[in-house]
Amino acid sequence: MANETLRIVEGRSVLRMERRLRHPAEKVWRALTEPEQLVRWFPASVKLQPRIGGSVEYWMDGEPGGDGQVLEFDPPRVFAITWSGEVLRWELLPADDGCLLVLSHTFDDRFGAASFGSGWTLCLDAMDLLLAGKPIDIEPDTGPLHDRFVEQLGLNQGSAEQTPDGWVVRFERQLTRPAETVWPHLTSEGTVTEQSEPKVLEYEQSGAKVRWELTEGTGHGARLILTQTGLSSPDEALTTWRGRLDKLAADLLQTPRK
């Protein structure tokens, strides 16, 4: 996954992914823009008006799944649409034996980037099979792929802020399993001050306060927010918690999906 990057542009997250395809741009363009081909690899069924300013409708399992608009339509080079406020932009560039597809996905939820990246990887794999005329048989469990994106995109680093009451260390991480599966992996290491299974666990330890929160996230997994407050220095906590959360994520991969 050497060609995936995440950056901030005008306050929004932009995930950029490249895929070299051994197919001419004209053929790939049809897979990107024709609804009867999109439905084979895209995460939703799509109805669209193929022109700049045209409307886009998304359907998932027969139910409305959002709407959008065509922002760019330049066959067979650039195709950009919105989906419920997010922007999907595909660019096809000349390359040996075919073309280079560049996908840029613009969104607000930075910590959802690993879910988006792993999901788009599977979608692009499916599109490649479609273009090659092969059966589309993709394994849907993206757990290991998701966690590789977490590390590659720097989503496991954590942050620190100094306040009048000491340093605050914060981690936010999208997990691959739901809160009910994550909860048994959480343990208190001090005096419990708040506990609401499977959402909140808070305890005091050596003058600092640790708080685990599990909320709804992207995909089928929970979003974990971990904070530790009242620290004299953030360095040790950042290193320790990063390692512990990496281990938690690895342990969850060994837990079967329900």
Q: Is the pTM here over 0.85, yes or no?
A: yes
Q: How does pLDDT run across 200-257, given as a tens digit for each residue?
A: 999 998 889 999 999 999 878 999 999 999 999 999 999 999 999 999 999 999 987 7
pLDDT (mean) for 25-43: 96
Fold match between domain 4-152 and domain 159-253? yes
Q: What is the CATH number of domain 4-152?
A: 3.30.530.20
Largest CA distance in the chain: 64
Tokens of 129: 């099979």
C-beta of residue 102 within 8 angstroms of C-beta of residue 94: no
Q: What percent of the chain lies above the pLDDT cut of 70? A: 98
CA atoms within 13 A on the CB side of 145: 15
Place of tokens 């496991």: 156
Mean pLDDT of the chain: 95
Q: Where are the domains of the chain?
A: 4-152, 159-253
C-beta of residue 200 within 8 angstroms of C-beta of residue 194: yes
What 3 state SS string does the chain have?
CCCEEEEEECCEEEEEEEEEECCCHHHHHHHHHCHHHHHHHCCCEEEECCCCCCEEEEEECCEEEEEEEEEEEECCCEEEEEECCEEEEEEEEEECCEEEEEEEEEECCHHHHHHHHHHHHHHHHHHHHHHCCCCCCCCCCCHHHHHHHHHHCCCCCCEEEEECCEEEEEEEEECCCCHHHHHHHCCCCCEEEEEECCCEEEEEECCEEEEEEEEECCCCCEEEEEEEEEECCCHHHHHHHHHHHHHHHHHHHCCCCC
Dihedral of alpha carbons 114, 117, 119, 122, sign: negative
Q: How confident is the model at residue 1 (pLDDT cuts 50, 70, 90)?
A: very low
Which residues are CB-neighbours of 121 under 8 A, at least 6 positions away?
A: 1, 17, 142, 145
Q: What percent of the chain lies above the pLDDT cut of 90? A: 90
- Please tell me the predicted confidence (pLDDT) of residue 255: 85
Q: How does pLDDT run across 118-139, given as a tens digit for each residue?
A: 999 999 999 999 999 999 988 7
- Please tell me the predicted confidence (pLDDT) of residue 130: 96
- Please tell me the predicted confidence (pLDDT) of residue 257: 75
Q: How does pLDDT run across 81-101, given as a tens digit for each residue?
A: 999 999 999 999 999 889 999
Q: What is the CATH number of domain 159-253?
A: 3.30.530.20
Distance between CA atoms of residues 148 and 183, nearest Å: 22
